Chain A
Amino acid sequence: MSINRRQFLSLCVKGGVSAAALTSLQLQALTGSANAVELGDYKALVCIFLYGGNDSLNMLVPLEGEQRNLYEQSRQNLAVASPIALNSTTVFAGGVGLHPSLLPIKSVFDSSNLAFVGGLGTLLAPTTIDDYKNKTVVLPKHLFSHNDQQASWMYGREKQSLNSGWGARLLERLDQQDQFAANISLDGTNLWQTGSQTKAFALNKSGISKINAFGGYQPRTDHVTNIMNRIMGNTQHPLSSAYANSFKSAINNTQAMNNALETAPELITSFSETSLSEQLAAVAKTISVQSKLSTQRQVFFVSMGGFDTHDDQLDTHPALLSTLAQGLSEFDSAMKELDVADKVTAFTMSDFGRTLTSNGDGTDHGWAGNQIVMGGAVKGGDIYGELLTQHLDGPQDTGGGRLIPQVANEQYFATLAQWFGVPRSELVDIFPNLNNFDQTTLDFFV
């Protein structure tokens, strides 16, 4: 931890935190005595953020019986008509059907490289419908609001005066924050990768970003570069200094990344021309040159928009799921080709699930949903967490078919964090609400 005591205390004071309230991890940071974690093999986490709130309850639907009846009554015209039966290790009443547009990931599921985690959402403590109605449990702030719920997923905790993303917190705990290549985004700036000491290197999805000004006659380029470096130092203003620092690191890191990527092997796996697949292709390419980037851990961020299906859901949602499944399946092939499948775990996050009721041709902002986790280290072919009964006005419905999550997203994150190398005893320092739940992690890794 490179943050010094004075900086940290100043942060504490501004955050309204007294030293007595600090967690063990924070105290370690304060005293500089955090135990270094032995990292061992290379590992990477790939976050696929589905912006807008994926109707993820419709990714896994019941096939028969009472569950199916309740589902069809609840979802009416938006019920998935012909789901593909899924052989999950855990058996569920009514069976499990996969949305037909997710067909490309069925074989990944069947080969035990992909699992679902059901019934997830933002939660501060276990919450029942009575708790919700009687306000006996504190609820996450601004439920159902896009940017606030996106932020909660990315922070891995409630918003506070010193916000940081949990992706960045993992890197900081594992002392990787000084390696720019540890923290890579294919979608610009995002909260998940922004910490007190780190932010993501934003890679263009086409990979190498040529710098125009650095081509041409070398002596001239050298002269112009010298002047540029000088001029970047000419400001005392905090905002333009922040710009200048971003600019300088963009150039240095882009050049370093370009040098590494120039040595990347040509992959046999081909990626589709969707934005998601292009981003995942760039992630695969970057992973292929990992040994040249002197980092033992990497977090990647890719994203897909369009999940806010208030409208035309019957047309748009299948297309979105198909793009997602295609990208996942291609990425799975690429990781196998590079022989790093068990070192790389990809997982989804999204603002929230959606309502079971419709507004005619779409759904509105909900709460609980399902997520996908994929990689060689995942105990695939199964569904973890809870597969919620899609029952309008049922025991988990807060109204309109906004279901209460049965598993906190922090439990999901903690599981990923532990696999990534964070000691189990410190998970609660990174995800503070874990203390309110019996189970710290889910069991989806080998």
Chain B
Amino acid sequence: MHYKFVLMASSVLLLSACGGSGTDDTPTINGNKIPILSIANIENDITKNQTIQLAATASDKDGTITSVIWEQTAGLKVLDEPISANTVTINLPPALSYAPREYAFNVTATDNEGATNVKTVSFVARNSMDEFTAARLLHQGSMGPKLSEIRKAQGLSEQQWLESQIALPIEYHRGYLVKSQGEDEFRYINRIDGWWKATLRSDDQLRQRVAFALSEILVVSDANSGLSSQPEGMVNYYDLLLKNAFGNYRELLEDVTLSPIMGTYLSHLGNEKADDALNIRPDENYAREVMQLFTIGLEELNQDGTAKLDAQGNTIATYGQSQIEGFARVFTGWTFAGSETFKRKSRDYIKPMEAFSEYHSSKQKTLLNDEVIPEGYGPEESLQIALDNLFNHANVAPFITKQLIQRLITSNPTPQYIERVANVFNDNGNGVRGDLAAVIKAIYLDDEARHFGSVLSYQGKLKEPLLKTVQFWRNLDAKSLEGYYRTWNMFDNYGQGPMRSSSVFNFFRPDYQPAQLRDDELVAPELQIAGDATLIGTMNEHFADLVWSAAEGHNDLNSSGLYVYIKNDMNTLKKEGINTLLDEYNVLYFAGSMSTDTRQALLDLDAYFDDDQYRERVSYLLYMIAISPEFNLQY
């Protein structure tokens, strides 16, 4: 908390103005000049949790000032009663929510004749994040924060940081896609290399994190599929998620639906109308998954994400076979853009798909909520109507926002949290539905995410294995001399990789509940990929990265090997000692949640080494942090 003196520049000006001119325009009442009152300027950027002073200067041309009284007229009470003083000291309370707080005061000067002059002073106090709250927000809102990013965010409000992130230009991944030397074509591994570069280097970290979350909801994958030979198309799909991350969900849904990558993955590309003679009917794959996974889910939901029940206490299915068949008809007639004919395909995996009417089913199409597209509608019209029908279903808000909250903030959001965000999905305040920027802000600024009020004992989520490595690599400048990030074995090391799920159901399901959490009725989706083999794989990867691959430990670097650079941490250790380094790690890796027991364990770990074994000391500290339960929780 720091003390702030408020300047009184304006009153000086006022006085000199009065003295300098011959005329006196001070209002009079019954021949008595009212008091002259001025209030010192206050800073235009005031933060909560500090003490400020408000100062008034009063004088009277034809008498004396008998009182100056301050009285609060708006905002959380900081002046219990009117105070008689020229200067009042105000303790602005700490933040209890993200929202800026408005204050207003009246100051009244009275002269010896009883005449008064009243002025109003008002200001807004915003939050100012300390290092721990900034670190926590950035753990939630980036791919893995760097210390420099946390330091930059310190002192900003949560809202300011989010808005500044949302305003940043988009770092598309296609700019990072480069061919391997001597290769004519892009390969799968070039896409992975590009993902690492964009993830490690980009400044628009919030967008990158939201797009990564979307890639686990609107799933496509080139694992075990022909799409592994379409890295450009795959990158373009990821870029589509980046583009729409703060856009509108309706547009995102349309871009996803018409993506030739999605069309290939869920087989609606090349899907054609029925041929009754050959017992051929439209492919139902996309029709089913766009409902089950991308928009509404299987069961009707309340706005707070809980299942609606019928009179018998059973859940209510959102759709049946007639809707599947209706939507399957909608998604007929579409193929690669620029194709000569429906069958002579262009194989353009970048541009949105285009339709051939003659392959589109013009039959009647049953949609949700008893809506029907009558016979005779063409592919484009049908698609618009059908996507509007999906997008406007009441399930979309709770179904999608709950999953976003789970991917970004906490595995077990309260129904109230889901409902607050779902309400924003339905209406951003300006009557717009599906505004993702508003939804994302609502997710991050919610009391439950920000720990305002009482914090739930099960708040937070386990970090995704891949993102743990991302944070170390971002901070430790991981790179190879050749400049490539060719991580072939992501599945063994992490149980996941970007757009590498083994099915459209993602690496883990939102309702995955390990036996240990049954009694508490909690879910932990990320634990679905924490099988023994993967846990050992991740642990081995951390050890290899942080202990074996510290560049400082090698005289000759292998030109294709990936190394981390721990020089900065070694210097901190050397110059400022172990406690300073652990303080820094507590901010950077634990967002302030390093317990005294963990700290002591790290000190004891460190004590094994000789003082000047700086490299080994840093490596082992980082490795132990990487596997520690406290680091593994995004709290």
Q: Is B555 an interface residue (CB 8 A)?
A: no
Residues of chain B within 8 A of A359, CB atoms compared: 267, 271, 280-284
Contact A253 B532 (CB under 8 A): yes
Q: Is A232 an interface residue (CB 8 A)?
A: yes
Q: Is B311 an interface residue (CB 8 A)?
A: no
State in angstroms the CA–CA spacing of A200 and B515 once bound together. Answer: 11
Contact B535 A240 (CB under 8 A): no
State in angstroms the CA–CA spacing of A360 and B457 once bound together. Answer: 53
Q: Is B454 an interface residue (CB 8 A)?
A: no
Contact A189 B529 (CB under 8 A): yes
Contact A227 B604 (CB under 8 A): yes
Contact B633 A235 (CB under 8 A): yes
A228 nearest CB across to chain B (Å): 7
Residues of chain A within 8 A of B458, CB atoms compared: 237-239
Give A399's nearest chain B residue, CB to CB: B321
From A188, A194, A197, B533 is in contact (CB under 8 Å) with: A188
Residues of chain A within 8 A of B471, CB atoms compared: none
Contact B536 A209 (CB under 8 A): yes
Give B512's nearest chain A residue, CB to CB: A189
Contact B288 A365 (CB under 8 A): yes
Contact B503 A145 (CB under 8 A): no
Residues of chain A within 8 A of B620, CB atoms compared: 224
Knowing A237-B458, A239-B462, A305-B503 are in contact, say whether A220-B534 is a contact too (CB < 8 A): no
Give A184's nearest chain B residue, CB to CB: B532
Task: Give the residues from 203 to 231 in chain B that come closer than 8 angstroms, CB to CB, to chain A.
Answer: 224
Interface band, chain B: 35 or more
Contact B280 A224 (CB under 8 A): no
Contact B321 A231 (CB under 8 A): no
Contact B515 A203 (CB under 8 A): no
Q: Is A10 an interface residue (CB 8 A)?
A: yes
Knowing A224-B620, A311-B267, A359-B282 are in contact, say whether A239-B461 is a contact too (CB < 8 A): yes
Contact B298 A148 (CB under 8 A): yes
A55 nearest CB across to chain B (Å): 14
Knowing A362-B283, A365-B284 are in contact, say whether A231-B628 is a contact too (CB < 8 A): yes
Knowing A147-B505, A162-B518, A358-B279 are in contact, say whether A201-B532 is a contact too (CB < 8 A): yes
Knowing A188-B529, A228-B624, A240-B630 are in contact, say whether A199-B514 is a contact too (CB < 8 A): yes
Contact B224 A200 (CB under 8 A): no
Q: Mark A56-82, 1 if CB is under 8 A from B, else 0.
A: 000000000000000001111100000
Q: Mark B504-520, 1 if CB is under 8 A from A, else 0.
A: 01000100111111111
Q: Is B333 an interface residue (CB 8 A)?
A: no
Residues of chain A within 8 A of B605, CB atoms compared: 223-224, 227
**Tally of A-B residue pairs with Cβ under 8 A?**
231
Knowing A76-B279, A237-B458 are in contact, say whether A188-B321 is a contact too (CB < 8 A): no
Knowing A231-B624, A240-B629 are in contact, say whether A310-B539 is a contact too (CB < 8 A): no
Flag the segment in B47-55, B382-390, B559-567, B595-603 that touches A: B595-603
B511 nearest CB across to chain A (Å): 10
Residues of chain B within 8 A of A231, CB atoms compared: 598, 601-602, 624, 627-629
Contact A189 B528 (CB under 8 A): yes
Knowing A227-B605, A239-B524 are in contact, say whether A203-B283 is a contact too (CB < 8 A): no
Q: Is A133 an interface residue (CB 8 A)?
A: no
Task: Give the residues from 221 to 262 in chain A that come closer than 8 angstroms, CB to CB, to chain B.
Answer: 223-224, 227-228, 230-247, 249-251, 253-254
State in angstroms the CA–CA spacing of A230 and B620 once bound together. Answer: 15
Q: Is B8 an interface residue (CB 8 A)?
A: no
Q: Is B531 an interface residue (CB 8 A)?
A: yes
Contact A228 B285 (CB under 8 A): no
Residues of chain A within 8 A of B602, CB atoms compared: 227, 231
Contact A362 B267 (CB under 8 A): yes
A140 nearest CB across to chain B (Å): 12
Residues of chain A within 8 A of B284, CB atoms compared: 310, 359, 364-365
From A146, A162, A212, A306, B540 is in contact (CB under 8 Å) with: A212
Q: Mark A160-192, 1 if CB is under 8 A from B, else 0.
A: 001100000000000000000000010011000
Q: Mark B259-270, 1 if CB is under 8 A from A, else 0.
A: 000000011001
From B521, B629, B635, A243 is in contact (CB under 8 Å) with: B629
From B279, B535, B629, A235 is in contact (CB under 8 Å) with: B629
Q: Is B502 an interface residue (CB 8 A)?
A: yes
Residues of chain A within 8 A of B532, CB atoms compared: 201-203, 209, 246, 249-250, 253-254
Residues of chain B within 8 A of A245, CB atoms compared: 516
From A74, A147, A364, B509 is in contact (CB under 8 Å) with: A147
Residues of chain A within 8 A of B635, CB atoms compared: 237
A262 nearest CB across to chain B (Å): 16
Contact A238 B503 (CB under 8 A): no
Residues of chain A within 8 A of B321, CB atoms compared: 144, 399
Q: A188-B531, A189-B530 are in contact. List 10 more A-B contacts (CB 8 A).
A: A76-B278, A224-B620, A240-B632, A254-B532, A305-B224, A305-B502, A310-B285, A359-B271, A362-B267, A400-B281
Provide a sorted-by-A list of 19 A–B residue pairs whose CB atoms are within 8 angstroms.
Answer: A10-B519, A11-B519, A73-B279, A162-B518, A163-B513, A199-B514, A199-B515, A200-B531, A223-B605, A232-B628, A234-B630, A239-B411, A239-B458, A239-B517, A247-B627, A250-B535, A306-B224, A359-B283, A401-B279
Please give me the 5 A-B residue pairs with the lowest Cβ-Cβ distance, nearest first: A202-B531, A359-B283, A188-B531, A240-B629, A250-B532
Q: Interface of B with A (CB < 8 Å)?
A: 224, 266-267, 270-272, 275, 278-285, 288, 292, 298, 317, 321, 324, 411, 457-458, 460-462, 492, 495, 502-503, 505, 509, 512-522, 524, 527-537, 539-540, 543-544, 547-548, 595, 597-598, 601-602, 604-605, 608, 620, 623-624, 627-630, 632-633, 635
Q: Interface of A with B (CB < 8 Å)?
A: 7, 10-11, 14, 51-52, 73-77, 142, 144-148, 162-163, 185, 188-189, 194-204, 209-213, 220, 223-224, 227-228, 230-247, 249-251, 253-254, 305-306, 308, 310-311, 356-360, 362, 364-365, 392, 399-401
